[in-house]
Every structure is written in structure tokens, then in C-alpha cells.
Structure 1
């Protein structure tokens, strides 16, 4: 059994018996996808809501909700997952710092949460559990045997969703 680590603005796929994890979700959102029959899982550490925010000509697909999730599904399908069986869970999207925003724009965490939910809807993937928002960081690990997502945060109880 290996623990597959996903960095910031990164994504990867794992299969049973491996687990897949990402650390340091603040305003970023960790989106996990899981096919319970093949026990194939995917995880994207989404940093920003839209590729429209890219400042470079070459886009890191894993960085943005609108490009990371389709890419993750594609990689899972290539490993043998079946699209109609994929379900999603997500965590993160915190507001780590309090700023007065005179524009009334939502925090980047809130915008990331909304963008991830929109991308899932476009892909037809149901979101079955989430632990999002708040003002604290999270670390998540998905167990491919069961599809259970463990959410850890400093000074908080461990959650299993």
C-alpha cells in the first residue's frame, strides 16, 4: 500500500490498496472522485476557480476548478473507472484571513467551492459529502478500499465523510 501525495495545484489518481492525500488546504479545495466498483480514486488540489485567472500562456490544468476536474475524470477513466459510478467529496475553501473587501466580492475560498460544485454539475458527478468553509486549514486522505475521506485540522476532531 502506498500513500500518493498530491501537491498544491496538482492532481493524481490512485487505486486500491493505495490511499491519496493532500496537505495544507486553506482557501484551496481538495476534490476527491471515487468509483466504488473499481476502487479507483482521484484527487485534485484546486487553487483557483477559473482558467480565466491564468497569467501564463501555458495553463496548469490542475490549478483551476474548471480544468482540473475534467482532467481528473479523464485520467480515472483511462485507469478503468466508469463515469456513471463516480461520486465526489470535497473539503477546504476556508477564509484564512479577514480582509475588508469594499467590492463585495466573495472570498477566494467561497469562489473555489462554487467553481468546484459547478464543474461537478457540468460533469454530471454527484457531490455526496463536503467539509468546506470556515477559517481553518485541512489535510485530507481518501481510502480507496471504502471511499471514505478523512479530514484533519489542527485543534479539531478528525472527520470521516
Structure 2
């Protein structure tokens, strides 16, 4: 009997990585950030973006990190998967995060980073016509997520709320 070893590929904040089964892909520190997994279940390939901010319009061009923003990282995620052999019609997404980590008395939209991140992620995925199969969003607790392209299951550990799978 052959034992297949797998490893967990770690994705940092404002980062993007790809994985093929049997390896898994994970990120932690999802507070107001959103973890976006796009995958092709048939060929068992996936990419994970750790989205920090909704859009790059106000970004400073001097130290620009395209992996930080929903509007720049998701197109890169999709294009790279397609270049790796994924099929456009087979792509699906799972998302988690977008928490409101602090309570504010102000109604200032700029403070709703988690909500704005989720809206931006959903908007870009919709533009590309990639269905969101499941989501674990909002709330007020941080998350760690790990996706298996082998099973297409997203494992989510939420601070002080335990674990679940979507």
C-alpha cells in the first residue's frame, strides 16, 4: 500500500497561492479580510486569495501589491487556474471572512471593511460568472480556513465558535 503524503500550502495576508490534490491550502488571520477559494473539482486544482481590501483605486502606486485587493487578485487567481488547465465552466468558489472586528458608533462606510470586502469579492466573482457554492461570512470573530481540492471541502475554524465544513 502506497502512502500519499500531502502538505498544507500556507497563504499569507494579501497573498495568493495555488494547489493540486492531495495538497491542501490554508490561510489564517481572516478578520475583516476574505478568503476566496476558486477551484475546479474535476481536475482537483484550487487557488486561495487572502483579500485585505475591496479595491485598488485608492492604492499608492509606489508599493502596490495586487494580491491585497479583490479587484486585482481575483482576476489573477482565475487566469492562473485557467492557465493550469482548469476549465472556465467548471470553476466554483467558496468564501469566508468579512467579519466586523470592532464596533463603531459611527455609520462611516469606510469602517465597514469586512462588509465592503465581501461585496467586492462577490461582485468580481459575479463578473466572471463563477458561482459561490458556499460561504461563511460576517460575524465578529476571526477565522482560519483550509481547502482540500481532493474533497472540495472548506474547513473553517472560527475563534471561540469551533470548527465546521462547507
Alignment partner of 1:61 is 2:43: no
CA shift for structure 1 position 157: 2.7
Whose Rg is larger? 2
Alignment partner of 1:111 is 2:111: no
Residue among 137, 155, 158 paired with 2:160: 155
> Structure 2: where are the runs of 5+ without partners?
1-5
User: Which residue of 1 is the match for residue 149 of structure 2?
Assistant: 144
Alignment partner of 1:78 is 2:51: no
User: Which residue of 1 is the match for residue 25 of structure 2?
Assistant: 20
Paired residues, what number?
A: 161
SS in 2 for 1:115: helix
SS in 2 for 1:159: strand
CA shift for structure 1 position 99: 1.6
CA shift for structure 1 position 80: 1.2
Alignment partner of 1:29 is 2:34: yes
1 CA distance for matches of 2:19 and 2:122? 22
User: Which range moves more in the overlay, 97-106 or 55-64?
Assistant: 97-106
Alignment partner of 1:124 is 2:147: no
SS in 2 for 1:51: coil
Residue among 38, 45, 59 paired with 2:43: 38
Runs of 4+ aligned structure 1 residues displaced above 3 Å come to: 102-106
> Structure 1: where are the runs of 5+ without partners?
none
2 CA distance for matches of 1:120 and 1:20? 20
Q: 1:81 to 1:104 in 2, by over 3 A?
A: closer
Q: 1:74 to 1:104 in 2, by over 3 A?
A: closer
TM-score by length of 2: 0.92
